[in-house]
Structure 1
Amino acid sequence: MGGGGAANFETRLRCFSAVYFDRGDRKKINELNYGGKILLPNFVLDQLVRLNIQYPMLFKITNRTVQRVTHCGVLEFLAEEGKCYLPSWMMEHLHLDEGAQVSIQYVNLPSATYAKFKPMSTDFLQISNPRAMLEVELRKFACLTKNDIIAVEYNDQVLRFKVIEVKPSHAVTIIECDMNVEFDAPEGYVEPDYKKKTDMPEAPIEKLVKPAEPFAGQGYRLDGKVPKKTRTPLVSTTEEDKVVTELLELVPDNDYKPGTLVFPRYNYKNRATLERELNEKQNGSGAAFKPFEGTGYTIRSKR
C-alpha cells in the first residue's frame, strides 16, 4: 500500500533540511528535525481543502532520481512557495541534497498494529525504560515506513532506530492506534557468553606470622631455685587452631597506581570446604583429640 484514496494530489517541491528554516526558533527546528513531519507551503493546504481528503494528512515523498520513498505527516504550512523542509534523517534516507526536487503525494495509510525497531547504537541499552521513551518520541511522527532509519532526541542525545517491520502494510499511520512494539538487538551488540567459565587466579600465598604467645618467657623463683621446665602451652597447637589464630602479614602492593582502584577476584575456598579439608587432614594424621585423658594429680598427700 502507500497511495490511493478519493483525493488525488501531487506536486513537486525543492527540499531543504530543517536547519535552513530561518523563521523558526530552536524549539521549532528540533521538533521538525527529530520527528516524522515536514513543513509545506500554504498553497498545498488550499488545494487539499477543496478535495475530498481524509484526516490526518499523510504524504508520500519520492526521490525519483534514485527511487527512494518514505512517508510523513505535515507539521505546519509555513514553508515558502515552492519549498518544503524535511528532517535531516529523512534527507539522508532519500539521498537528497539541499534544494533537490522531490515528489509530494497525498496518500491514505492503514493504522499500525505492529512495529519492530532496531537501535543503531548500543547507547540504547543505557535507557532504563526504552519502551516508554519511544512511545513519547513517536508522538512526533505520523507514520512509519519499513526500512526507514528514524532519529529521535532523548536527554540531549540523538538515537537512531531502523524500522525493521511494520504491519499490516509496509507503510502505516501511528496516529490513534493500538500498536505492539518490539526491539531487535542493537547494532554492534555482542551477546555475552554466560556459559563460559571465568578462570580466576589462585589466591596469593602470603607469609604467615607466628602468633604472640603470652607468658612464654623464663620463670624465676623467690628462693633462687630454677623452676622445672614443665609448662603447658596456653595456645592450642592443633592444625585447625593454627589456621584460625595465625595472623596474615600485610603485603604492600608495589604496583599500585594513585587514583585507581583494583578489585581482583581470587579463587578462595569457602569455609565449609576449608573445614572439611582440615578434618580430613586431622583424621588422617592420627586419632582425634580427646580431652581429659591425661594423668590426674591431687594436692592432698595420701595417708
Structure 2
Amino acid sequence: MDFQEYLNLQRRTFVQYYRCLSTSLLNKENLDEDSNFLIMPPSALDRLTGLNIEFPMLFQIKNPSTELATHCGVLEFIADEGFIHMPSRLMAHLGIQENEVVLVRNTRLPTATFVKLRPHTTDFLGVSHHKELLEYNIRNKFQCLTAGETIAVAEGDRRFYLDLLETRPADAVCTLNTDCEVDFAPPLDYVEPPRAPAPAPVASSQGSGEPPQFTGAAARMDGKPVEQPPPAPVPAGGRHGDQPRQPAQFTGVAMRMDGKPVELPPPPTPSPAAASAGALGAPKRKIRFDAPAAGSGVSKGKEGAGAGKEQEKRFSGTQYSLKD
C-alpha cells in the first residue's frame, strides 16, 4: 500500500501502522495468550468513535513485508501510543518480531456457519464434552476465526491445539451470536490400524470338468464301517485317467429320526404308452383341465361302452364329487 492510498483510506475507515509487542509484556492477569484479542492505544478508540464503527470491532492485522494477515478483536485501549499488543502466537504466525511494524485496519466479517478443525493429538478424542469445551473457549477467547491458523483450547491444565482447516462462508468469520456447525478431521498423530490380510484364494474346480472332491472321512450314523465301492475297471491297454471319474455313490442305510423302520416305496412301473413314447423320444405332453364343451355327449354304442370300461380300468382311485 502506497502513502496516497493510505491517506485516502484514513478518510473513510480506520487504518493505521503500529509497532507490535506481545501481550505477555504487559504482565496483566486477565490476558490470555491463547486468545486473539488486541490491546490498542487510547487514540485508536477516539478515531473509531469518530468513524461510527459498529460493534463488534474486528480488525485485520497484516505483515506489510509478507502480506500475511490475521483477524482479531480488541480487548482494551491501554497501550502506549504508536504500539499495539497481540498474542505471541499470532505474531509467530505472521512472522513478526518485537517492535516490527504491522498494518491494522478495521473490517466486517460474515457470521460463521461452518468450521472444520483438526486436533494435533489423539488426546482430544478422549474428551467427552467437545461441544461445551469449544463453546466456552471460543466465546471467551475468539471473536473471529481465520482459516489456516492454529488455536488452543484449554480444560484446566490441559491444552489442545486445533488447526482451522476450513471456515464458511468465508476464510475469516465472526463467531459472535451464531449457531455454527463443527466438523473434525483425523488428528495429526492418528495412525490407522493395519488392515487384516486378505484370505488366500481357494483353488476352484470350475473349468476342470470334474466335480469338487470331498476330502473328509466317510462315516455312518450307526457307527459301522463304511463299505467302499469297488474301484472302476480299467479298460484294456489304458490307464485310470483315460475315463472321466464317476461321482461316489451313497452306500449307507436309510434311517428315520424316530427309530421306526423305513418304508421304501416300490419302484414305479412305466406304462406301455410311456415306454413307447420314451423309446421314440417323443416330448412329454402338458395336461390341461378344462370344463366340457356345451353339447358334447358320450356315445352309448359299443365304442362308447368299451371306452368307458377302459377308463374304469385306468382310473383306480376313489371317485368324489364337488357337491359332497
Q: Confirm or deny a common fold (TM above 0.5).
A: yes
Q: Does the residue aligned with 1:165 lie in a helix, a strand or coil?
A: strand
Separation (CA, whole Å) in 2 of partners of 1:126 and 1:64: 41
| Amino acid of the structure 2 residue aligned with 1:160 | Y
How much does 1:193 deviate?
Answer: 4.0
Alpha-carbon distance in 2 for matches of 1:43, 1:180: 38
Which of 8, 11, 14 is the matching residue for 1:9?
A: 14
- 1:21 equivalent in alignment to 2:41: no
Spell out, residue by residue over 1:187-243, the C-alpha distance to the aligned partner (whole angstroms, 9 max, x if none). Answer: 12112247569xxxxxxxxxxxxxxxxxxxxxxxxxxxxxxxxxxxxxxxxxxxxxx
Counterpart residue number, 1:190 = 191
Name the SS of the counterpart of 1:49 in structure 2. helix
Number of equivalenced pairs: 193
Within a 5 Å distance, the mapping from 1:108-147 to structure 2 comes to 108-139=108-139, 140-147=141-148
Distance of 2:23 and 2:197 partners within structure 1: 49
Q: For residue 137 of structure 1, give the secondary structure of its aligned residue in structure 2.
A: helix
In the other structure, the counterpart of 1:88 is 88
Q: What secondary structure does 2:40 align onto?
A: strand
The alignment-based identity, stated in percent, is 37
8 Å CA contact 1:39–1:77 kept in 2: the answer is yes
- Using the TM superposition, give the Cα deviation of residue 285 of structure 1 relative to its aligned residue in structure 2, in angstroms: 11
Equivalent residues of 2:133, 2:153 under 8 A apart:
no
| Contact preservation (8 Å) 1:112, 1:177 | yes
Structure 1: gaps spanning 5 or more residues? 198-279, 287-303
Q: Distance in 2 between matches of 1:77 and 1:126?
A: 39
1:281-296 alignment runs, 5 A limit: none
Give yes or no for the alignment of 1:158 onto 2:163.
Answer: no
Q: Structure 1 residues 42, 191: CA separation in 2 closer, same or farther (over 3 Å shift)?
A: same
Q: How far apart are residue 62 of structure 1 and its match?
A: 0.1
Gaps of 5+ in 2: 1-8, 199-218, 226-324
> Is residue 143–residue 173 contact of structure 1 (8 Å, CA) maintained in 2?
yes
DSSP 3-state at the match of 2:102: strand
Give the letter for the 2:88 counterpart: S
In the aligned structure 1, how far is the partner of 2:120 from the partner of 2:224? 65
2:171 maps to what in 1? Answer: 170
- Aligned to 1:78, the other structure's residue is in SS state coil
Q: In the alignment, which residue of structure 2 is the partner of 1:289?
A: none
Indicate if the aligned counterparts of 2:63 and 2:102 stay in contact, CA closer than 8 A: yes
Instruction: Tell me the CA shift for residue 151 of structure 1.
Output: 2.1
How far apart are residue 138 of structure 1 and its match? 0.5
1:183 maps to amino acid: F
Give the residue type in structure 2 aligned to 1:125.
Answer: L
Partners of 2:154 and 2:99 in 1: CA distance: 25
Superposition TM-score, scaled by structure 2 size: 0.55
> Scaled by the length of structure 1, what TM-score is found?
0.59
Q: CA RMSD in A?
A: 2.4
* Separation (CA, whole Å) in 1 of partners of 2:104 and 2:224: 93
C-alpha displacement of 1:129: 1.7
The structure with higher relative contact order (CA 8 Å, sep 6+) is: 1
Residues 113 and 169, structure 2, Cα contact 8 Å, conserved in 1? yes
Q: Do the aligned partners of residues 56 and 284 (structure 1) sit closer, same or farther apart at CA in structure 2, a change above 3 Å counting?
A: farther
Paired with 2:130 and 2:12, the residues of 1 have a C-alpha distance of 38
1:285–1:37 Cα change, 3 Å: farther
| Cross-structure match for 2:104 | 104
CA contact (8 A) 1:72 1:142 kept: yes
**Greater CA radius of gyration, 1 or 2?**
2
* Matched residue type, 1:154: E
Letter in 1 for 2:13: N
Larger strand share, 1 or 2: 1
- 1:117, 1:184 within 8 Å by CA — same for their partners in 2? yes
Partner of 1:43: 43
In the alignment, what sits opposite 2:59? 59
